[in-house]
Structure 1
């Protein structure tokens, strides 16, 4: 059983209830203590010579620690509290000052000390953390960073502007050439910092205001621009003469702490996490970003790394505070990946499927050849799509597990259920070859959930999804090919709940649930579809046949007022479409681009 700790959100402002403060202090104790018994190292000793300033890192006691702060200042404090027992030196930058935060991150990683943030709001959180760390010297990066420190503090402040030369002079760090970082890539740039290779990170400048094309004829705008330029040159000259780019104060020599080599910090890469990411890199922890997705299952790299069972700190409200983060981490820690990588189906993958039943070509391409040839054919169809899309194309089988029957059969349900062990070789060998597999249900007069449970042992495999085909869901007195079936949404939602629970209970990757539909009436009250369970990727498969205008019309109608989130599938009929479109036409003309394309 993995132990998860949730660090209390760091309070901002003076009005903190006494009980909340006591709780925060108690929980903070799991990240280190003042007596140094935690096992962290990095402080310099010796009584004859002045000791260098140092820091002591400490791995969280819990195997997982969640830092769900929404505020950047609080998130920076919480990360420092989780990974540092003490530090004689800390870096402070103004929250929201992009250049100061980026250079502060460089300084923190280079020195091996925490990066904290200051703001105009009450500075209780910052001051409390400086006291807890035992900070004696603050390196304040940015023009106003020193003014953001709490009043009454006796720490020495070394103030530097957001200038690479001044930072080098104050710290003794050897910095490389400047690198301009776009807003969306700041977290990535900081996550890649290492003490032996420190670039100068600078924020991308905002675009200059557009020059109006209808400038006044009297030239007043030109005169104003010339005045502004002269004032700018005068300011730059004055700054150079007064030496404003030089640091104030002297930073002591800093001895780096022992790195936290088996600690992984996960973050989505949001702006509120940047300082925490810098602190993690300063402490020697590995930082993995989920690419803006608030789900650790979406990254193949994260899944692979968590399988090694490191100590994990999850940083940022969007990730640490995401619903179901515990079971998502459990699933990622299995290391099991979907065909094509990761544990989320979309938008990372496009599935290209052969539809049918093993042993019979009457119902689709899948049964026109034996198993090895079917795998090869699915791979061939998938290959035709690889140059057409940017994501990973995955060959797929959609196997009809229960077949609509013209006769009632011994169970009187007008559905012929295939034996699980008969299907197993097709399912398992397809999975071993890197295919995804979907089991399709045509239930007749029984219900979808009853039939789905018959294939539970196959659905427990990580690469197997489920499809419900309402065309073949009959009422009590109906028969196939006389009526087109339909299903009520409550029956569908029963399957959603059961299948999602199966995923969570077995720590499985996200599972595909396909709903076949070519008429609005086929799924009654579809607007009430339960799309809240992100254990599943729910996809509506628009599987009508005929002329392309008619198919496109059906596609457009079924998209109207569709619940969200929902994914979409398209079917190409070899013989029935007039005409069947090519892979390139499928991608170019079917919009939005389908996540699943099936061939029958």
Structure 2
């Protein structure tokens, strides 16, 4: 497996108001020439067969009704039952459990890594006693590759055994889990359904990475150029997750969207919010603290969506000295204060 790391420190944002969507009611009416209450067929006539039921349309209507109900609950209570944000701050270790090069998750032996993680969680709890901390693992599950593969899509999905193992790690240590997607030259529309069976688990959430979304850049190898996603891709993902939440009666899912340049997300104002999905625009760049703060402001705060996130790099943020990895207190002091923190 070949993995890649972001090369610049720049960011993308969040924080926005919930937009309520209106839906028109659907009704049926008699066909022309018929009465509303149809009688029996006349002698010699054959009774018309009932129209086939459009299950797709019925499913869509049920989803719309569920969305309206969710909107109503949110207006009354501020969030749906079981929502993680904004009541708790999520702190995650990122990487791939089969790779030492992608991040702290996988770089160190399992027990050593979890001991380190426990210490980090304590630091965040001490830095902000007013807000609980939700530990999380963030595993890159569909990974951009340095070779195109048989189908030419430049991406590879973890095996079922690997995904089930990282889910077991999360449950063992009372963490939630993010499955992250780097689509390569594929699309979210093609890749996300592969993860649906795992997203039915209440502890499993989702991340999408525009940096490695290159379907609009034919011939470009991952890591040669920074990729992009549009609002329509984010909206597809939100609708995909919202359906899973509704159909399986789950608490809201959290969706992290990596960002460290403006072009990584286009038409951000068209991103539609749904109370069943909590969107985190996640500042994913590395560098010294001033650069990271400026990036957070320019790409996350200036283009707000809903909630915000901030990444800290063990290997890159402290280079060159005297730069340092920002402390919990420094990150908490950002405005708005990020509610999703990721260590790579």
TM above 0.5: yes
- Mapped contact 1:381–1:395 kept (Cα < 8 A): no
Pick from 378, 382, 386: which aligns with 2:117? 378
Change (3 A) 1:325 1:445: closer
Kindly report which structure 2 residues correspond to 1:310-321, keeping only aligned pairs within 5 A, or say none: none
Look up the match of 2:163: 423
- Mapped contact 1:441–1:467 kept (Cα < 8 A): yes
Paired with 1:412 and 1:584, the residues of 2 have a C-alpha distance of 45
Look up the match of 1:587: 332
Provide Cα deviations, 1:164-196, integer angstroms capped at 9, x if missing partner.
xxxxxxxxxxxxxxxxxxxxxxxxxxxxxxxxx
- Answering whether residue 282 of structure 2 is matched by residue 541 of structure 1, we say yes
Kindly report which structure 2 residues correspond to 1:135-284, keeping only aligned pairs within 5 A, or say none: none
Paired with 1:408 and 1:359, the residues of 2 have a C-alpha distance of 20
- Mapped contact 2:149–2:155 kept (Cα < 8 A): yes
Pick from 172, 175, 191: which aligns with 1:435? 175
* 1:384 counterpart SS class: helix
| Cα offset, 1:326, TM superposition | 10
Look up the match of 2:342: 598
| Cα offset, 1:403, TM superposition | 1.4
Paired with 2:223 and 2:179, the residues of 1 have a C-alpha distance of 22
| Cα offset, 1:369, TM superposition | 2.9
- Mapped contact 1:405–1:480 kept (Cα < 8 A): yes
- Answering whether residue 100 of structure 2 is matched by residue 356 of structure 1, we say no
| Cα offset, 1:523, TM superposition | 0.7
Provide Cα deviations, 1:393-419, integer angstroms capped at 9, x if missing partner.
011101000111111012211111111
Look up the match of 1:562: 303
- Mapped contact 2:89–2:340 kept (Cα < 8 A): yes
Look up the match of 1:365: 104
Change (3 A) 1:452 1:378: farther
Pick from 73, 82, 89: which aligns with 1:343? 82
* 1:393 counterpart SS class: strand
Paired with 2:327 and 2:199, the residues of 1 have a C-alpha distance of 32
- Answering whether residue 253 of structure 2 is matched by residue 511 of structure 1, we say yes
- Mapped contact 2:104–2:343 kept (Cα < 8 A): yes
Look up the match of 1:451: 191
| Cα offset, 1:476, TM superposition | 2.4
Pick from 149, 154, 158: which aligns with 1:409? 149
| Cα offset, 1:433, TM superposition | 2.4
* 2:239 counterpart SS class: helix
Look up the match of 2:239: 497
| Cα offset, 1:364, TM superposition | 0.4
| Cα offset, 1:359, TM superposition | 2.6
- Mapped contact 2:283–2:300 kept (Cα < 8 A): no
Give structure 2 stretches of 5+ with no counterpart: 1-66, 75-80, 318-322
The structure having more radius of gyration, on CA atoms, is 1
Provide Cα deviations, 1:132-177, integer angstroms capped at 9, x if missing partner.
xxxxxxxxxxxxxxxxxxxxxxxxxxxxxxxxxxxxxxxxxxxxxx
When normalised by structure 2's length, the TM-score is: 0.72
- Mapped contact 1:378–1:397 kept (Cα < 8 A): no
Paired with 2:191 and 2:301, the residues of 1 have a C-alpha distance of 30
Paired with 1:353 and 1:561, the residues of 2 have a C-alpha distance of 24
Paired with 2:189 and 2:109, the residues of 1 have a C-alpha distance of 30
Considering Cα pairs closer than 8 Å and 6+ residues apart, tell me whether 1 or 2 has the greater RCO.
Answer: 2
* 1:514 counterpart SS class: strand
| Cα offset, 1:324, TM superposition | 1.2
- Answering whether residue 311 of structure 2 is matched by residue 571 of structure 1, we say yes
* 1:409 counterpart SS class: coil
Kindly report which structure 2 residues correspond to 1:47-66, keeping only aligned pairs within 5 A, or say none: none
Look up the match of 1:485: 227
Number of residue equivalences: 265
- Mapped contact 2:70–2:275 kept (Cα < 8 A): no
Paired with 1:394 and 1:560, the residues of 2 have a C-alpha distance of 23
RMSD of equivalent CA atoms: 2.2
| Cα offset, 1:449, TM superposition | 2.8
- Mapped contact 2:179–2:204 kept (Cα < 8 A): yes
Change (3 A) 1:325 1:513: closer
Paired with 2:261 and 2:181, the residues of 1 have a C-alpha distance of 18
Give structure 1 stretches of 5+ with no counterpart: 1-321, 330-341
